[in-house]
Amino acid sequence: MEVKVLTIAEDILGANKEKARRNQDRLDKHGILTVNVMSSPGAGKTSLILRTINGLKPKTRVAVIEGDVASRIDADKVHQQGVPVIQINIPGGCHLDAGMTENALNNLPLEEIDLLLIENVGNLICPAEFALGEHKKVMLLSLPEGDDKPYKYPLMFTEADIVLVNKLDLLPYLDFNITAFSQAVTGLNPKVKISPVSCKTGEGLETWFSWLEDEIRKMKNRHS
Amino acid sequence: MEVKVLTIAEDILGANKEKARRNQDRLDKHGILTVNVMSSPGAGKTSLILRTINGLKPKTRVAVIEGDVASRIDADKVHQQGVPVIQINIPGGCHLDAGMTENALNNLPLEEIDLLLIENVGNLICPAEFALGEHKKVMLLSLPEGDDKPYKYPLMFTEADIVLVNKLDLLPYLDFNITAFSQAVTGLNPKVKISPVSCKTGEGLETWFSWLEDEIRKMKNRHS
């Protein structure tokens, strides 16, 4: 029997954009660079955020919004670093949206923040479809997930401004072709920046820190 | 500043159940044990399916439904094993549902199947909420995802009949506490079976094969 391919169209996009634009205006007014952090479950979003808080301090004042279906495990880890953090729980939901983000912004000290990192729900699909008001999107793909993911979850890779290939420390134990992966991502998104990192050892993170510092500088210049 | 926790209720459940019940009646009539295979992206669903086809043949006639946002990579791998396979693509969707499953059943030779494996979209959230007509749910959690996942994605662990802890070959390189993980899962779902496996090396898969063979036998006895 031949392989049959059935294609089923489904529109799950909401009327989220206008609210996201209002959030962005508000963040712009305060000169807060806002980055939407997306990945599969367990790819290393929280580890990246903890590394970033420590890599950029004391120059950059970071705040964090944590999105999860359940639990406050990640928010508690961030809180221990002494930065403002809001945990959003979404029972049954699979992504953050602009309304939830607005709610969190109402609870953050906006005049004291240079960089806002929003950790989305662990999911390679829906978070790419819902703008929050962020200026940039970073996605993490961890090596154990496999180098075929750009073919299976193309929108996430198309939408990202920067792709961090995490868990580089596991490379010797895996069949992951970084060149093939990078070619697949660039095929979807020619302008994207791709950077291999290990949030466990710290390897490669300077590139990410420099990229963020550049973007924060541009934001400050635009709004000064 | 203290951690603030905002809880946002969201109802994304559809009127999917009646259709799922009809699918199950149809599968029962043919005596086909049907298993919904769920995990995060890249946790090893396709590898498990390929191992299962080869582990159970020639005694058990397997067929496969492959769910993905895009691509037919997985269906092509299954097709190479010489078993019937249907690829369902769902642009913008994050889970299979009973209607898509019915569509696939219409395209499978139901009188020639003992075991139907349905590979859901890689996602730890929505697939747990939509019945397809399956008799059993297996979920894979791969070690690199971390042992805190039951707290963050509780529904998936609550709904599973069996949890396979995959990529056991990577255990020496990770901080993953299998005992703590198993306790967290059992806390959510006291009757669940938990079994560590490596779909790369084959380690631990006999337990999964025996479990499946038992369930297939029960199904045949009920419908003979």
Structure tokens at A134: 């962020």
Buried b (16+ CB within 10 A) or exposed e, B166-198: bbbbbeebbebeeeebbebbeebbeebebbbbb
Asked whether residue A86 carries a pLDDT value surpassing 90, the answer given is yes
pLDDT in tens, B86-133: 999 998 889 999 999 999 999 999 999 999 999 999 999 999 999 999
CATH architecture, range B14-222: 3-Layer(aba) Sandwich (3.40)
Q: In the 8-state DSSP scheme, what is residue A99?
A: H
- H-only helix segments in chain A: 17-29, 45-56, 73-79, 98-105, 149-152, 154-159, 178-188, 205-222
Helix (H, G, I), strand (E, B) or coil at A35: strand
> Using CA atoms, how far apart are residues B32 and B23, in angstroms rounded to an integer?
11
pLDDT in tens, B35-88: 999 999 999 999 999 999 999 999 999 999 999 999 999 999 999 999 999 999
Residue B63 φ then ψ, to 5°: -130, 160
CB B23 within 8 A of CB B101: yes
Instruction: Give the pLDDT confidence score for residue B137 in this predicted structure.
Output: 98
Burial class (CB in 10 A: 0-12, 13-18, 19+), B73: middle
Q: Give me chain A's average pLDDT, please.
A: 93
Label residue B3 by pLDDT band (50, 70, 90): low
Instruction: Give the pLDDT confidence score for residue B196 in this predicted structure.
Output: 98
* pTM attached to this predicted model: 0.92
Q: Rounded to a whole number, what is the distance in Å from the CA of B4 to chain A's nearest CA? A: 5
Cβ–Cβ below 8 Å for B87 and A4: yes
**Cα dist from A218 to A22, A184, A207, A208, B221, whole Å:** 20, 29, 17, 15, 69
CB A144 within 8 A of CB A175: no
CA angle B49, B55, B61 (to 5 degrees): 75
Task: List the domain boundaries for chain A.
Answer: 14-222
Q: Which has the closest alpha carbon to B47: B210, B196, B166?
A: B166
B 59-78: CB under 8 A from A: 68-73, 75-76
> Using CA atoms, how far apart are residues B147 and B179, in angstroms rounded to an integer?
9
Structure tokens at A185: 């991502």
CA A107 vs. chain centroid, Å, equals 21
- Within 8 A by CB and 6+ apart from A201, the residues are A168, A169
Label residue B223 by pLDDT band (50, 70, 90): confident
Cβ–Cβ below 8 Å for A6 and B68: no
Structure tokens at A191: 């302008």
Q: Rounded to a whole number, what is the distance in Å from the CA of A181 to chain B's nearest CA? A: 14
**Cα dist from A156 to A114, A125, B72, B162, B164, whole Å:** 26, 7, 18, 30, 27
CB B218 within 8 A of CB B206: no
Q: Give percent of chain A above pLDDT 70.
A: 93
Among the partner-chain residues A4, A42, A93, the one whose CB lies closest to the CB of B149 is A42
Cβ–Cβ below 8 Å for A7 and B148: no
CA B153 vs. chain centroid, Å, equals 15
Q: Say yes or no: B26 contacts chain A, CB-CB below 8 A.
A: no
Q: Which residues from chain B sit within 8 angstroms of residue A153, using beta carbons?
A: 41, 69-70, 122
> Using CA atoms, how far apart are residues B174 and A13, in angstroms rounded to an integer?
37
CA B145 vs. chain centroid, Å, equals 17
Structure tokens at A184: 């697949």
The single-letter code of the amino acid at B43 is A
Among the partner-chain residues B10, B93, B100, the one whose CB lies closest to the CB of A90 is B10
Mutate: best of B13, B38, B105, B123, partner A, most A CBs <10 A: B123
pLDDT in tens, B196-207: 999 999 999 999
Half-sphere exposure of B66 (CA within 13 A, CB side): 28
Q: Say yes or no: B84 contacts chain A, CB-CB below 8 A.
A: yes
Instruction: Give the pLDDT confidence score for residue A136 in this predicted structure.
Output: 98
Handedness of CA B185, B188, B194, B197 (dihedral sign): negative
- Token pair 């509780």: residue: B154
Helix (H, G, I), strand (E, B) or coil at A210: helix
pLDDT in tens, B150-208: 999 999 999 999 999 999 999 999 999 999 999 999 999 999 999 999 999 999 999 99
Q: Which residues from chain A sit within 8 angstroms of residue B155, using beta carbons?
A: 69, 92
CB pairs under 8 A between A and B: 196
Among the partner-chain residues A11, A75, A94, the one whose CB lies closest to the CB of B125 is A94
Q: Which residues from chain B sit within 8 angstroms of residue A7, using beta carbons?
A: 89, 91
Among the partner-chain residues B42, B69, B169, the one whose CB lies closest to the CB of A40 is B42
Instruction: Give the pLDDT confidence score for residue A10 in this predicted structure.
Output: 38
> Using CA atoms, how far apart are residues A123 and A92, in angstroms rounded to an integer?
13
Q: In the 8-state DSSP scheme, what is residue B112?
A: G
- Token pair 């996430």: residue: A156
Its ipTM equals 0.90
Among the partner-chain residues A9, A91, A125, the one whose CB lies closest to the CB of B9 is A91
Cβ–Cβ below 8 Å for A152 and B94: no
Instruction: Give the pLDDT confidence score for residue B8 in this predicted structure.
Output: 43
Residue A116 φ then ψ, to 5°: -110, 120
> Using CA atoms, how far apart are residues B216 and B208, in angstroms rounded to an integer?
12
Cβ–Cβ below 8 Å for A92 and B152: no
Q: Say yes or no: A110 contacts chain B, CB-CB below 8 A.
A: no
A 174-203: CB under 8 A from B: none
> Using CA atoms, how far apart are residues A172 and A111, in angstroms rounded to an integer?
45
Q: Which has the closest alpha carbon to A198: A42, A44, A77, A66?
A: A44
Residue A220 φ then ψ, to 5°: -65, -40
CB B114 within 8 A of CB B33: yes
